[in-house]
A and B are shown apart, each in its own frame.
Chain A
Amino acid sequence: MEKRAENSVSRRERLNDGQNQVLAFLGGDTFKGFLPFIGLVAIIVIMNILTDGSLLQPKRVRLLLSQVYYPMIVATGVFFVMTLGSIDFTEGSTLGVASIVVSALSFYSIPLAILGGVLTGAAIGAINGFFHVRFKLQSFIVTICTMYLFRGVCAYLTTETAIPASPAIKALDSNELKIGVTLAVLFAAWFLFRFTRVGNDVKAIGSGETAARFSGVRTDRVKFLVFVAAGALTGLAAFVNVIKVGSITATAGNQLETQILISLVLGGLPITGGAKVRFSNIVVGTLMYTVLHNGLVMMGFASATQQLIKGLVFLAFVALTIDRKALKVIK
């Protein structure tokens, strides 16, 4: 172990050398930026061939898109968290709890249900942010704990029976509404990220928190708010989810957190966060994951095999794209 510590600098450099040689062969750093786009096209083409062209049939495409909306909304929030260099494992359980709130409130009023979902998510985000910032706990640890906590809450509330939503909310199920909400979220987030201090501050914290603090960034406040926002967006996604599924069971949002994590990394988001994130990571990643997932389903793989293949793809992608120079423990 001790030897390893001493060797790690040169080994890391050598690995980077190797990676750079592969990348240089393919066209250098620019290529690294395009890799996710190329990956998306490649995965669509491959899956289309493997499914004998049925992937791109209009009916399939519509189904595929209908699966994209709520993960994309959730991924938008998590994108900011991961840009900080932090991580959030609570999306699945937040989605579950918020969906229950949305369903219960949907019998009174739809706007109230939406508000309730968003506030529930924001509250969970606030808990994560508070423990992460105030007690200087790693987000990794905090959100794994809260993930179990709220998964428990979700299971407790649905022990007796699944929680149904009102027919009124189910009647809202239309692609227009779901596309509208998703695009609105994406646009608002893109605008904040690209044209306001928010994007700069979040990236600065991801690249170097201490220096960001010494440059006047209110690091604690920004981190807290990012977790709250990520929770709130998951709460909004819960509304879209309830429209689609109609009733909530204990498994609502199960493993959503890993799906989001894999999507963003497939989309090219550096796991270390910071300067090299691109907003397009969200869209490309979510689409890639959905195509991969649907393709595997259509090819008739059992779900265990699907998981195995997804795991391998994920591992290969991270190994190829990670920036070893920026490597440190995830906050």
Chain B
Amino acid sequence: MESELLRAEHIDKRFGITHAVNDVSLTIAPGEIRALIGENGSGKSTFCQMLCGIYTLGSGTFTLDGRAIQPRNQVEANRLGISIIVQEMGTLSGLTVAENIFLGHEDPFTRWGIKDSRAMIREAQRLLDEYGFGRIKAGAMIDNYNFEDRKLIEIVKATYMKPKILIVDETTTALSQSGRLELYRIMDATRADGRSVIFISHDLAEVLSHSDSVTILRDGEYIDTVNARDVSEDDLKRLMVGREIGSAYYRTDYGSPISDEVILSVRDVSVPGQIEGVSFDLHRGEILGFGGLSECGMHEVGKAVFGASWDRSGSVMLVKDGQAYLAVDGIPMAIRHSIAYASKDRDTESLIVNESIRNNVVLPSLEDLAERHLLKKRKLDRFAKEHSERMQTKMQGVNQFVSDLSGGNKQKVVLARWLGKGSDILVLDSPTRGIDVKVKQMIYALMSELREQGRSIIMISEEIPELLGMSDRILIMKDGRISGEFLRSQALSEEDLIAKMV
């Protein structure tokens, strides 16, 4: 038998009636980078979060180095030699960089209950320098650093004590290219040291180039483990979805002209500290892509169009027959005049997660659904059911809470809501962020369908292939301003766009 570092046997977890992880067993060898892939809701994150003590183990056993473990929280997991870098923000505001790095491990710096901050900062700085992040100051407040730097700090925190198992949970989506390279370097170093990495990612190219073996989960069940060298991206997609998935992912049409009819005119819009002097027109039946680096201001453009920005200047006008007839100044007005907005921050800005699917879907349409100001539950139920079923939302019923759904299904609820409202202008910010291939494909098909119907879409995206594949026209932003415009063309390459971003 091969040597093994981690053995998971019959791991199982339920959340209410959702069977999140269903009897999963696997082993990981020392010095192995094991990718864990699957669609949203396949149980990869839940599996790892049980391993590192964030969730309690439903049933089954983890054996690390021949010893059965059952960490009750992250600090305990750290001590056992398991650490995790998560997808979202994993550092705590209001503490210094050093305090974050040694969170839960203050003991070496504590004598008679008194913390020696100087020693802690000194040690933290030594680690940062060692990792090559010397520009980050250990004594500074963590709030002084941006998302990406905080991710790097988190990497130091998760790896400095040389864990036996390092879990990287969809961290790369938050990182730029240079940040990713740092992370890959650390993963490789961990492997070279005879320790192991569990790597969760939706980016299959990245999975194949940076892991030794790949375990596929589907609907909480173990499907297979394959050698990364022996398979292709399409093989992985097939295993994840359980059926053949077409390669026609994006739009395939080129050269269809953009309508002359302008329906929304944005002039000289500025939001302090975010965007400056942004002007553009949106045409009927057009998919207008917005691209740039994540801090370039493009996300604020979406909010500005929807009337949701604080302190906006300039004008956002609806246009009919060449005449600007209405200024969009607030969210209720934007919604009433057929503008929809799906935020990048799905869980706080798009959805009320502690509410039912029904109430989330009907919320913007209540005025339309009321008969003489009265709301009838049956009618609301039917409306919510119709539109969430049209989006093929996986749910037990419209009364189920949104918090129970996976990322992809949450996005379906968001789209169901705006389909129900029948909006003509859809502002979709990062519509496929953190979403698996199957749902992605469905969202792209839906966008094409809406476009054919003559509706207009503003798609803000950090993924360049998506911009190239779906947009009729692409605007690139840099430092809060529009820095370039491209028309849909097969000749357009990623490099062309990147050149305008940086």
Contact = CB atoms under 8 A, between A and B. Distances in A.
Contact of A214 (B55, B331, B359, B375): B331
Nearest to B330: A218
A203 B373 contact: no
A5 B375 contact: no
Contact of B374 (A5, A13, A195, A211): A195
B75 interface: yes
A9 B336 CA distance: 39
Nearest to A3: B104
A204 B355 contact: yes
B354 A195 contact: no
Nearest to B363: A215
A326 interface: yes
Contacts of B354: 207-208, 274-275, 325-326
B73 A215 contact: no
B363 A218 contact: no
B352 interface: yes
B56 A208 contact: no
B53 A10 contact: yes
B342 to A, nearest CB: 9
Contacts of B356: 275
Contact of B75 (A3, A17, A211, A274): A3
Interface in A153-173: none
A208 B375 contact: no
A269 to B, nearest CB: 15
Nearest to B349: A214
Interface in A275-294: 275
A13 B15 CA distance: 11
Contact of A2 (B104, B334, B359): B104
Nearest to B52: A10
A10 B74 contact: yes
A212 to B, nearest CB: 6
Given A2-B106, A10-B55, A207 B363 contact: no
B353 A10 contact: no
B375 A197 contact: yes
B54 interface: yes
- What is the size category of the interface that chain A forms with chain B? 20 to 34
Q: Among the interface residues A10, A195, A211, which one has the most CB atoms of the partner chain B within 10 A?
A: A211
Interface string A178-218: 00000000000000000111001001100110111111111
- Of listed B99, B353, B417, residue having the most chain A CB within 10 A: B353
Contact of A211 (B99, B350, B375): B350
Contact of A274 (B355, B364, B366): B355
Interface string B309-349: 00000000000000000000001101110000101000011
Contacts of B363: 200, 204, 212, 215-217
A216 B106 CA distance: 46
Contacts of B373: 196-197
Interface string A1-32: 01101110111011001000000000000000
A7 to B, nearest CB: 4
B351 interface: yes
A204 B352 contact: yes
Nearest to A275: B355
A196 B306 CA distance: 25
Interface in A217-259: 217-218
B95 A210 contact: no
B341 A214 contact: yes
A213 B341 CA distance: 12
B379 to A, nearest CB: 11
B370 interface: yes
A29 B376 CA distance: 25
Given A3-B104, A7-B74, A210 B92 contact: no
Nearest to A276: B354
Interface string A80-113: 0000000000000000000000000000000000
B188 to A, nearest CB: 28
B155 to A, nearest CB: 17
B483 interface: no
Contacts of A274: 354-355
Contacts of A203: 355, 359
A167 to B, nearest CB: 43
Contact of B335 (A14, A210, A216): A216
A5 B91 CA distance: 11
A196 B366 CA distance: 9
B364 A215 contact: yes
Interface string B88-128: 00001001000100011010000000000000000000000
B62 to A, nearest CB: 15
B308 interface: yes
B403 interface: yes
Interface in B179-217: none
Contact of A208 (B353, B362, B364): B353
A5 B73 CA distance: 11
Residue of A11, A208, A274, A325 with most chain B CB atoms under a 10 A cut-off: A208
B94 to A, nearest CB: 10
Contacts of A218: 332
A80 to B, nearest CB: 17
A2 B306 CA distance: 39
Contacts of A6: 73-75, 103-104
A213 B310 CA distance: 13
Interface in B132-146: none
A197 B74 contact: no
A196 B95 CA distance: 46
Contacts of B351: 208, 211
A223 B40 CA distance: 36
Interface string A137-160: 000000000000000000000000
Nearest to A213: B331
Contacts of A275: 352, 354-356, 359, 401
A197 B370 contact: yes
B72 interface: yes
Identify which of B73, B75, B354, B360 gathers the most chain A CB atoms within 10 Å of its CB: B354
B374 A196 contact: yes
Contact of B72 (A10, A200, A208, A213): A10
B355 A207 contact: yes
Contacts of B375: 195-197, 200
Contacts of A17: 56
Contact of B359 (A13, A200, A210): A200
11 contacts: A200-B366, A204-B359, A207-B353, A207-B354, A207-B355, A208-B354, A212-B363, A213-B331, A214-B349, A275-B401, A326-B354
Given A207-B352, A210-B348, 19 more contacts: A2-B103, A9-B54, A10-B53, A10-B54, A13-B55, A17-B56, A196-B375, A207-B354, A208-B351, A212-B352, A214-B350, A215-B352, A216-B331, A216-B336, A217-B332, A275-B354, A275-B359, A325-B403, A326-B354
List the 9 closest A-B pairs by CB distance, nearest first: A208-B352, A216-B335, A215-B363, A207-B354, A207-B355, A7-B73, A211-B352, A275-B355, A207-B352
